[in-house]
Chains A and B, each alone.
Chain A
Amino acid sequence: MLTWLVRYKTGKEFPNIPHKFTYEHIDRKELDAFVIINSDKDLPVFTVHFDDPRKKLIYRRRTEMPSAARPFHVVCHIIGWHMNVKGESIQNINYVYETIGRKNKKGEKEDFHWIESAGKWDKDRNTWFYSPIMRAYEK
């Protein structure tokens, strides 16, 4: 299963701790990197670096519920940034997908991950690429 941690400019890392260190607790001024990690293997899957103070973090865990026909969740971790450059909003949004509870061709449970990287929100390019409802601390 995928989750996230943040690395601050001090080098210290802080993993998501349910209800104690959550997305809204991230100190955005101290943010150096946001990392999607595989919690089962304790390995990084995707890292977004905050190497420009104008970059503002965006993260969502977008879930498509399972059904009788597709009995596993499809989750998309939407991770990226937006910044204002001379009045223009520049965005880099990345989509880290995972399946949860999927079975492979042998009938064994095996989850899958894949990553897509894009610019601005563009649901015409991909139906997952639509904007979340922005929170005050993301603007």
Chain B
Amino acid sequence: MVATVIINRLTGTMPTVTPITTLNTRANAADTHTTGDTASPIEIPGAGTNYSYWVVTRLEATVAPDNLIDNIEWFTDGSNTYGTGITNLGNTATGYVQATGTPGVTGAQLTTAAYGTLTGAPTDVFAHVTGTPKAVTGSTSTAIEFGDRFVFQVNVATSATAGTKPATPEQFTWRFDET
């Protein structure tokens, strides 16, 4: 049987698992999934960098494959359209760590120290494109959440300008093999 696979965003302490397969999810200064919340923006800093709460995403098979799902990849379209002073850094993680921060101001910076199961220091997500994607460790033969998470965070510098960024949501893609 062809597996049914969805994309989840993980938030909160448990964590709360929210399917976002064909939705936008907002990376803002709150640890929750929304498609269009404007109550918790990332404040443009007077100095240094402010951050979104980190966004944790993961695949889940709700219907098991015949044999196996493996060879998981994650990539972007390679184009940062956030505008001046805004970047997005991320990496894979073997576990879940809840995002923290000051709601409506900034999240805590995503680092290997703050997120202990991150597989390496966060890097520019837009370097991961379809031809050179980020390999995500993991596989499944059953109906379960599977594979490492991909965790990312929007970084806002003093040179950023106010407003909803980007005008058109960034598109991040998961890809996998199945038999």
Task: Say yes or no: A61 contacts B21, CB within 8 Å.
Answer: no
Alpha-carbon distance A60/B139, docked complex (angstroms)? 14
Q: By the criterion CB–CB under 8 Å, are A22 and B21 in contact?
A: no
Q: Is the CB of B67 within 8 A of A65?
A: no
A17 to chain B, nearest CB (A): 9
Q: Is the interface of A mostly helix, strand, loop or mixed?
A: loop
Shortest distance in angstroms between B11's beta carbon and chain A's nearest beta carbon? 18
Q: Does B179 contact A22, Cβ atoms closer than 8 Å? A: yes
Cβ contact of B178, chosen from A3, A61, A123, cutoff 8 A: A61
Interface residue range, chain A? 20 to 34
Contact partner, B179, options A3, A19, A23, Cβ 8 Å: A23
The total of chain B residues at the interface (CB under 8 A) is 28
A18 touches B67 (CB 8 A): no
Answer whether residue A62 sits at the interface, using C-beta atoms and an 8 A cutoff: yes
State which residues 117-139 of A face B: CB under 8 Å: 123-124, 127, 132-133, 135
Within 8 A of A (CB), among B1-44: 1-2, 5, 7, 21-24
Given contacts A66-B21, A68-B24, A68-B169, contact A23 B67 (CB under 8 A): yes
List B137-179 residues whose CB lies under 8 Å from chain A: 168-169, 171-179
Q: Is the interface of B mostly helix, strand, loop or mixed?
A: loop
Interface residue? A69 (CB, 8 A): yes
Chain A, Cβ-Cβ closest to B175: A64
0 or 1 for each of A102-118: is its CB under 8 Å from B? (1 = yes)? 00000000000000000
Q: Is B111 an interface residue (CB 8 A)?
A: no
User: Is A70 an interface position by the 8 A CB rule?
Assistant: yes
Residues on B with C-beta less than 8 A from A84 are: none
Taking a contact as CB atoms closer than 8 A, the residue among B7, B169, B177 that contacts A62 in the complex is B177
Contact B130 A60 (CB under 8 A): no
Q: Is B124 an interface residue (CB 8 A)?
A: no
Q: Beyond A22-B67, A23-B66, is A67–B173 a contact (Cβ under 8 Å)?
A: yes
Q: In the assembled complex, which residues on chain A have CB atoms less than 8 Å from the CB atom of B23?
A: 68
- Contact: B175 with A18, CB < 8 Å? no
Known pairs A123-B131, A133-B70 / 20 extra A-B pairs, C-beta < 8 Å: A3-B2, A18-B1, A59-B179, A60-B179, A62-B177, A63-B5, A63-B175, A63-B177, A63-B178, A64-B174, A64-B175, A65-B21, A66-B21, A67-B21, A67-B22, A67-B171, A68-B22, A69-B171, A127-B131, A132-B71
List 7 contacting pairs A-B, 8 Å CB cutoff, sorted by A. A63-B176, A65-B173, A67-B172, A69-B168, A127-B131, A133-B177, A135-B179
